[in-house]
Amino acid sequence: MSRYWSPLVHSLTPYVPGEQPKLSNLVKLNTNENPYGPSPRALEALRGEVGDALRLYPDPESSRLKQAVASFFGNIESRNVFVGNGSDEVLAHVFNGLLKHEQPLLFPDITYSFYPVYCGLYDVAFEAIPLADDFSLRVDDYLRPNGGIIFPNPNAPTGRTLPLTEIDRLLAANMDSVVVVDEAYVDFGGESAVALLGKYPNLLVVHTLSKSRSLAGLRVGYAIGHADLIAGLERIKNSFNSYPLDRLAIAGATAALEDREWFERTRRAVIKSRIALDAGMQKLGFEVLPSAANFIFARHPQRDAGELAKALRERSIIVRHFKQPRIEQFLRISIGTDEQCETLLTALKAILG
């Protein structure tokens, strides 16, 4: 606390990121990082940027990266792409530039916890809409006056996904406001709303390269939408930081998007491991929610989630426990390598007795 802080700073409740412990020999399953390394082509591109060119500013438009995104999807152009320093920065500009209106922003009550933080930072009125008892999103709950809608699909931290037909229905009923679909985990089993972009000028889809491209340490995210929405985000960006991505990030991210073979191979491996871990957890008596992400969300009917997380930590295994109403008895477990998942199951079997 400081008397020099503004009233805004005093009022903020900052986001708490997942723990990044410095200990060695950990089985780290708490922040949904990809267990497989980045594309070899991405690493080669990064090495190629280390040299005299670093004295020069990067391309403020990140033109190569935008073209790589457009080429990956095929049904969009570079003018439909906005890039930022991680999807969190992209989302920050979205909240600041597209979601602040007289009516409240709508998002689920159990969702990415940065959303209410951004609302506090940018003075965006919001209403948290309760998920159903099975943690699914009910589109009918969003058919009301609003200043915008945002939700992750698949949802975080539940992993549940909303079918594209329901997203279509949601968009059709909310043509007067921006609908943001945060697809950080979509590559692990969800249906991307990118397919609907030609139909809805109010749709914005946000992606990250942290998960399926294994570039969490590089901080690259992007949004795809109608050119008018993208132009608004560019105005915000250029009033804040004209160079959000450095030369390394642009080169590495571009190469990662171009390496489709590595992307497909590693995402299929994660999906296969998720299916196996889900089955293993259920054999131990856990209830596991259906997941289309690179994590599972599970609870044991007879054991406290906080105690389980503590017992796992004592065995050098870290998972995520949310002390939040409705989900305080759940653990979110990132999908690791098969060896890491087997280590987790062995530890849980010993803990449960």
Alpha carbon of 283 to those of 268, 301, 332: distances in Å?
23, 13, 17
The C-alpha angle with vertex 17 and arms to 296 and 234, in degrees rounded to 5, equals 100
Q: For residue 13, what pLDDT is reported?
A: 84
Q: For residue 81, what pLDDT is reported?
A: 99
Round to the nearest angstrom and report the end-to-end CA distance of the chain. 46
Domains and CATH numbers, the chain: 7-37+261-352 (3.90.1150.10), 40-259 (3.40.640.10)
Q: For residue 23, what pLDDT is reported?
A: 66
Q: For residue 101, what pLDDT is reported?
A: 86
Strands 105-108 and 126-129: parallel
Residue numbers in the chain where pLDDT is lower than 50: none
pLDDT tens for 246-305 read: 999 999 999 999 999 999 999 999 999 999 999 999 999 999 999 999 999 999 999 999
For 149, counting Cβ atoms within 10 Å of its Cβ (0-12 exposed, 13-18 middle, 19+ buried), the class is: buried
Q: For residue 4, what pLDDT is reported?
A: 86
Q: For residue 21, what pLDDT is reported?
A: 75
**Burial annotation 218-235 (CB, 10 A radius, 16+ → b, else e):** bbbbbbbbbeebbebbbe
Q: Structure tokens of 20?
A: 């990044």
Q: For residue 14, what pLDDT is reported?
A: 86
User: In Å, how far from its chain's centre is CA 269?
Assistant: 19
* This model's pTM is above 0.85: yes
User: In Å, how far from its chain's centre is CA 343?
Assistant: 26
Contacts of 109 (CB under 8 A, 6+ apart): 128, 129, 130, 131, 326
